[in-house]
């Protein structure tokens, strides 16, 4: 075993040659910068899309409430029109305006007239 211990001591005391700096270091840094830039652009794009969707959601909700208000107003107007067209209201307006019932009607019959060219 002594041979193995001597061999182990010799290999551990050997001076290892200095490593050269990796030549691929600038490309890794460039790659990291590109990835970071893409992440930033993607994050900003995501925020813009989410913000646009939220704004459209609010606009849709406002339009839906406006639609429901207009539908309620239309129903009220239809009811009002039906009340005004009722026979009692029409008779009251006729009396108020002093209108008279029509008796016999005489219609005029047009006579054919020739037109010269």
Q: Into how many domains does the chain fold?
A: 1
| Residue 40 placed within a domain | yes
| Residue 35 placed within a domain | yes
Sign, CA torsion 101/104/105/106? negative
Instruction: Enter the pTM of the model.
Output: 0.48
Lookup result for tokens 């600038």: 26
| Residue 82 placed within a domain | no
- Report the pLDDT value the prediction gives residue 109, as an integer from 0 to 100: 87
Residue 35's CB is within 10 A of a number of other CB atoms, namely 10
Rounded to whole angstroms, the Cα distance separating 54 from 45 reads: 14
Rounded to whole angstroms, the Cα distance separating 38 from 91 reads: 79
Contact 89, 83 (CB under 8 A): yes
Rounded to whole angstroms, the Cα distance separating 114 from 112 reads: 7
- Report the pLDDT value the prediction gives residue 59, as an integer from 0 to 100: 96
| Residue 114 placed within a domain | no
| Residue 69 placed within a domain | yes
- Report the pLDDT value the prediction gives residue 100, as an integer from 0 to 100: 86
pLDDT in tens, the chain (117 residues): 577 667 666 655 555 566 655 555 678 889 999 999 999 999 999 999 999 999 999 999 999 999 999 999 999 999 999 998 899 988 888 889 988 888 888 888 888 887 776
| Residue 91 placed within a domain | no
- Report the pLDDT value the prediction gives residue 77, as an integer from 0 to 100: 96
Which residues form the domain of 59?
29-73
| Residue 62 placed within a domain | yes
Please state, in angstroms and as integers, the Cα–Cα distance from residue 20 to each residue in 24, 41, 64, 72, following that order.
11, 36, 69, 82
| Residue 48 placed within a domain | yes
């Amino acid at each position: 075993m002594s041979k193995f211990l001597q061999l182990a001591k010799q290999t551990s005391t050997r001076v290892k040659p200095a490593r050269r700096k990796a030549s691929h270091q600038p490309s890794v840094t460039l790659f990291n910068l590109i990835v970071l830039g893409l992440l930033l652009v993607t994050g900003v794009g995501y925020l813009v899309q989410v913000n646009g969707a939220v704004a459209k959601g609010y606009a849709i909700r406002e339009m839906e409430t406006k639609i429901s208000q207009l539908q309620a107003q239309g129903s009220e107007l239809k009811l009002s029109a039906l009340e005004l067209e009722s026979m009692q209201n029409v008779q009251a307006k006729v009396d108020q305006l002093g209108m008279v019932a029509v008796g016999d009607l005489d219609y005029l019959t047009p006579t054919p007239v020739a037109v010269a060219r």
